Structure 1
């Protein structure tokens, strides 16, 4: 079946019920938000993202501009790449799992990243890990995380069960196992080495290696091109497994491709800046509220633009208003964690 399959109009998902937008805006604004054309929403978000990037690059720009401007460009480039990778991977993952509170990190990717960093620091020393070539660490982390996902997916989808729900359960169990091993190794480490290692557990946009940006951008671009070509098939996939199979979609093959795309995007993002567990949940939830329908042709750019605005705008406020009082990743995880708990307790999503 070609990947450009278009769902019949009778199967197109309609606008979500008001219950899903109840938490996002006051009652008098819900209708206006839902009646806004998606193209206009994308235009407004794009303008806001461009303005924030321009302000971030030029605000208070003085001194050695040839030194300051490239450093800011590297930082904003890393934030944009993470916005694309995390936003797209979370949207795809929620599409195939038909669940609005799950993220790829539920499969244990963040726990695996922490385990890899901890194991390397335990064997070679935290100082050696901090000074190791960034390209080598980047390649090793991506290889391990993608290899883990490929092994898990092939094992689950080529066996007798072939259950997506069992796959999620196994991912949660393995994530807990990885965290347990990491905690054990950290308790056996010297306190001085643990302090060095602890900085790697949080996402940081201040120390991104410029040499990794081009490689990350190329990998993310290749995956996103493939995802964009599948956007109509993803619309059908969002309707459910039975509907997708009935209209001719090879459900197993498409789900495998989507999960592998998610794995690569999360691996690149995590290896580049570190884990951002709840960022994807935050931007995708906002994206669903701003998009009138469920078409991925609209959802994909909306989610990416919201992620760019959140990261660039948040970093701008952190630097210029709060004076680096905390880390941006801490604010994102705190906000996303509250949203995650709220969605669980509210029961507004599947």
Structure 2
């Protein structure tokens, strides 16, 4: 199916699912439930628009459909920051830690940006003729992420059990806990990030073909990579702070888009992928709330499905490699 008819069809499905979600049990709906559903629906849109386009850009920069931006350690930084807040607040300040505040949200983003900047500085080419080593960046990200997780686990072990229970609920991704204040900040960040990603979509089209071709056309690969990593970290960090780390959502949507659509431009990937993500999240949450009575955590289902897709693609790739 061509891009425009397919995009219109997906948009219609998104609108219908949004109406089903908002108007479910309309006769018994109160003003509080209506406001809650509107805020949650807005959060779903912000999360999908933050994760899916940034995943497409990240996979193009690092030339692999198997990667997710979380390999840079965003979830590890989030866990460390939240653990520090609970650990310091309960152990040294003798006070309970409530919901995620704007200050802790901004601290999360600053730490994520600082961490990604350190990674980039560590592996950036020292001379102009050298190429950017993406594999070294990913390897460093994975190693440092494991170090951060070990430090986080150490602090969690010596925490008070009641504080750890509260922290555990904070660290697990959930589409039920939505902060209106963080949502407004997230909307601004994601909107700015989308504008920049769409601006760079034609550059990403060239980079996807070949880095040497992009360099011969005058594209500064190092500069573009650094700028886009900055935007990707901002967007992934925003979605992580709002609902928690969703490792496989962007990966799953991106690979579905690659395999079952016939499009080649990144701006088309951004639109189709975002619509597919909205259908998955809004539709899944509507089924969970209206038919399953919230007995299941949608984020867990998404991660399990994404992990199964990852191993399926890995297996197919290995079989294809053996038959060549």
TM beyond 0.5: yes
CA distance in 2, matches of 1:78, 1:111: 22
- Contact kept? 1:120, 1:129, Cα under 8 Å: no
- Contact kept? 2:112, 2:237, Cα under 8 Å: yes
CA distance in 2, matches of 1:188, 1:76: 38
| Aligned equivalent of 2:166 | 196
**Structure 1 residue 339: Cα displacement:** 0.9
Runs of 5+ consecutive residues of structure 1 not aligned to the other structure: 1-35
After the TM superposition, which residues 40-51 of structure 1 pair with which residues of structure 2 at under 5 Å, given as runs? 40-51=5-16
After the TM superposition, which residues 1-350 of structure 1 pair with which residues of structure 2 at under 5 Å, given as runs? 36-63=1-28, 65-125=30-90, 128=95, 130-131=97-98, 134-157=101-124, 159=126, 162-347=132-317
- Contact kept? 1:45, 1:305, Cα under 8 Å: yes
CA distance in 1, matches of 2:156, 2:236: 24
CA distance in 2, matches of 1:129, 1:223: 34
Residues 156-195 of structure 1 deviation map (CA, whole Å, 9 limit, x = unaligned): 2254674221111101111111111111111112222211
| Aligned equivalent of 1:28 | none
- Contact kept? 1:291, 1:299, Cα under 8 Å: no
**Structure 1 residue 323: Cα displacement:** 1.4
Distance 1:40 1:130, change over 3 A: farther
CA distance in 2, matches of 1:41, 1:174: 42
Distance 1:195 1:132, change over 3 A: closer
- Contact kept? 1:202, 1:276, Cα under 8 Å: no
**Structure 1 residue 129: Cα displacement:** 6.1
Runs of 5+ consecutive residues of structure 2 not aligned to the other structure: none
**Structure 1 residue 152: Cα displacement:** 1.9
CA distance in 2, matches of 1:172, 1:260: 18
CA distance in 2, matches of 1:148, 1:76: 31
Secondary structure at 1:125's aligned position in 2?
helix
CA distance in 1, matches of 2:260, 2:272: 8
Q: How many residues align?
A: 315
Secondary structure at 2:124's aligned position in 1?
helix
TM-score by length of 1: 0.85
Q: Aligned-residue CA RMSD in angstroms?
A: 1.9
